């Protein structure tokens, strides 16, 4: 399965290994929880205003913050394929 992944963790570590999620949220004036979800790659949608603020802060392009990963199996994909298999077995 091909998925979009956040690269925020790597960008932060390259920029300043001591930079915390809380400090970043304060510096870009954005919700801590949104920054945390992006850092942990738990975000479902990427707000444009957040991407813009992060791009300006780190002096990067959006493609350096998010990217496409091929051949990744995630829990959602497993759940869907199990449900499809159960439907076929009924």
Can you give the CATH number for the domain in which 64 is found?
1.10.260.40
Strands, E, within the chain: which ranges?
Answer: 3-6, 66-69
Q: What is the pTM of this model?
A: 0.77
CB 65 within 8 A of CB 51: yes
Query: Comparing C-alpha atoms, which of 52, 47, 46, 60 is closest to residue 12?
Result: 60
Tokens 């869907």 -> residue: 80
Tokens 């394929």 -> residue: 81
Cα separations in angstroms, 88 against 68, 83, 84: 31, 9, 6
d(CA 74, CA 20): 27
Looking at residue 74, what is its pLDDT?
54
For the stretch 12-62, pLDDT in tens is 999 999 999 999 999 999 999 999 999 999 999 999 999 999 999 999 999
Count: domains in the chain: 1
Domain residues for the domain of 76 are 3-89
């Amino acid at each position: 399965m091909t998925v979009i992944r956040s690269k925020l963790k790597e960008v932060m570590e390259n920029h300043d290994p001591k930079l915390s999620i809380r400090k970043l949220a304060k510096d870009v004036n954005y919700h801590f929880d949104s920054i945390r979800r992006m850092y942990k790659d738990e975000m479902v949608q990427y707000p444009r205003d957040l991407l813009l603020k992060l791009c300006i802060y780190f002096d990067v392009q959006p493609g350096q913050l998010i990217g496409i990963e091929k051949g990744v199996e995630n829990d959602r994909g497993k759940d869907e394929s199990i449900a499809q298999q159960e439907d076929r077995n009924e």
